[in-house]
């Protein structure tokens, strides 16, 4: 990484995503004791928590401090409208407190902490700064502060996703997966099950408790994963990283496919038809968030398919980081027509042909063929 042109950006991004994972774990513990006060509903009825705004503020502040705010363009999911309302004073106070707690720990991740506690206006400014719409020219960071908020609230799978796009192409992808178990088979269990298991036997180094951050640079042919930092340990990067690679399984009958848990914006019946058509025999692995891309990149599953229901438009922050990681881990990500995804048209993945397919190169042609075979009889 040292010799490539994005080494500085990658270094900052990996460190800040580690910080964001820690922040989310801290908020998640708080949600248990405080109930639903820290969960608000956005206009589209998806829940948003203190974690979403706090991560966005933290990432925005760190990137702007190190790279200069005039040089930083961030496309991100959250805005400050809800937080700025009079009835959100307690929520805003919780965000300010959470961000300052997290930034106080910055040296643990090899980053500079602020000289003094950040005020409310500074934090609102950091969140509000993430108002870019991206596009085909220039350099843009793409952030989903908590991807899979429902998974987060339910103490299940969620991800912090950060990507860097230059002149319309995603060049860096960093994915933090705080609840991603190190053992594939545990993905099928609810996160609280792991907590019960850990009380029965002390967690080992490869246990669910670790969580991980995955990252890749476009064109490197390498994708990496490292465990989260726990307790008083300091982040050692890249010393603790290990390479990951997509699965070598090329027989569909042995393959596992991932899909979204939520049916609201995903057509499960169509993916079931494609799965049957291509010869998939295993039950689908339903996982919240971009952790699905992590599962493909690490070889825990072979195929991720998503076919949105009519009227739903995919957003770039839900895919950018995961796509580059899967591709550099040896996989292929295209739309259902076999074309690469286009992140250069603004906040939406415009021109998407039916849906998204992520898998190994060996399986890709078979999946695309099955999509075409199943399409005419579908209800999309």
120 is annotated as an active-site residue: no
As a residue count, the chain comes to 380
CA 39 – CA 82 distance, rounded (Å): 12
CA 251 – CA 279 distance, rounded (Å): 9
Peptide bond into 238 cis (omega under 30): yes
Q: Could you tell me whether strands 285-286 and 139-147 are parallel, antiparallel, or unpaired per DSSP bridges?
A: unpaired
Phi, psi angles (nearest 5°) of residue 65: -65, -40
Q: Which residues contact 38 (CB under 8 A, 6 or more apart)?
A: 27, 30, 31, 49, 50, 91, 94
Q: Which residues contact 85 (CB under 8 A, 6 or more apart)?
A: none
Q: Do the Cβ atoms of 165 and 343 come closer than 8 Å?
A: yes
CB atoms within 10 A of CB 90: 10
Q: Could you tell me whether strands 139-147 and 74-76 are parallel, antiparallel, or unpaired per DSSP bridges?
A: parallel
The tokens describing 114, both together, are 């602020």
144 is in an annotated binding site: yes
Q: Do the Cβ atoms of 106 and 113 come closer than 8 Å?
A: yes
Catalytic residue among 52, 156, 300, 335: 52
CB atoms within 10 A of CB 207: 16
77 is in an annotated binding site: yes
Phi, psi angles (nearest 5°) of residue 75: -100, 115
CA 13 – CA 15 distance, rounded (Å): 5
CA 321 – CA 172 distance, rounded (Å): 7
Catalytic residue among 49, 58, 98, 149: 149
Task: Work out whether the CA dihedral 355, 358, 362, 363 comes out positive or negative.
Answer: negative
232 is annotated as an active-site residue: no
Residues designated catalytic: 52, 149
User: Residues annotated in the binding site for Mg(2+), as ranges?
Assistant: 77, 144, 147, 318
């Amino acid at each position: 990484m040292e010799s490539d042109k994005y080494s500085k950006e990658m270094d900052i991004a990996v460190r800040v995503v580690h910080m964001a994972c820690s922040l989310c774990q801290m908020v998640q513990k708080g949600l248990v004791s405080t109930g639903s006060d820290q969960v608000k509903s956005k206009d589209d009825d998806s829940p948003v928590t203190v974690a979403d705004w706090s991560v966005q503020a933290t990432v925005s502040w760190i990137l702007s401090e190190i790279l200069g705010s005039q040089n930083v363009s961030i496309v991100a999911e959250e805005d400050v409208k809800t937080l700025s309302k009079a009835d959100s004073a307690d929520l805003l106070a919780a965000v300010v407190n959470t961000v300052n707690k997290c930034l106080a720990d910055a040296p643990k991740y090899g980053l500079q902490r602020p000289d003094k506690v950040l005020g409310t206006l500074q934090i609102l400014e950091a969140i509000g700064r993430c108002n870019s719409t991206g596009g085909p020219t220039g350099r843009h960071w793409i952030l989903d502060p908590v991807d899979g908020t429902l998974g987060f609230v339910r103490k299940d799978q969620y991800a912090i996703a950060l990507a860097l796009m230059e002149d319309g192409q995603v060049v860096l992808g960093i994915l933090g997966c705080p609840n991603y178990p190190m053992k594939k088979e545990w993905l099928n269990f609810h996160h609280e099950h792991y907590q019960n298991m850990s009380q029965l036997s002390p967690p080992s180094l490869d246990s669910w408790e670790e969580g991980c951050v995955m990252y890749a640079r476009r064109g490197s042919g390498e994708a990496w994963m490292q465990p989260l930092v726990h307790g008083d340990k300091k982040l050692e990067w890249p010393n603790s990283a290990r390479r990951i690679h997509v699965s070598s399984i090329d027989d569909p009958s042995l393959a596992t496919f991932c899909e979204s848990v939520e049916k609201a914006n995903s057509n499960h019946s169509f993916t079931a038809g494609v799965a049957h058509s291509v010869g998939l025999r295993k039950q689908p692995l339903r996982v919240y968030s971009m952790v699905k891309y992590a599962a493909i990149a690490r070889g825990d599953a072979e195929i991720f398919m998503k076919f949105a229901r009519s009227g739903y438009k995919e957003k770039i922050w839900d895919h950018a980081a995961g796509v580059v990681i899967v591709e550099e881990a040896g996989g292929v990500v295209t739309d259902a027509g076999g074309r690469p995804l286009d992140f250069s048209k603004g906040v939406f993945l415009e021109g998407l042909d039916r849906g998204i397919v992520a898998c190994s190169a060996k399986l890709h042609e078979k999946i695309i063929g099955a999509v075409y075979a199943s399409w005419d009889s579908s209800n999309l």
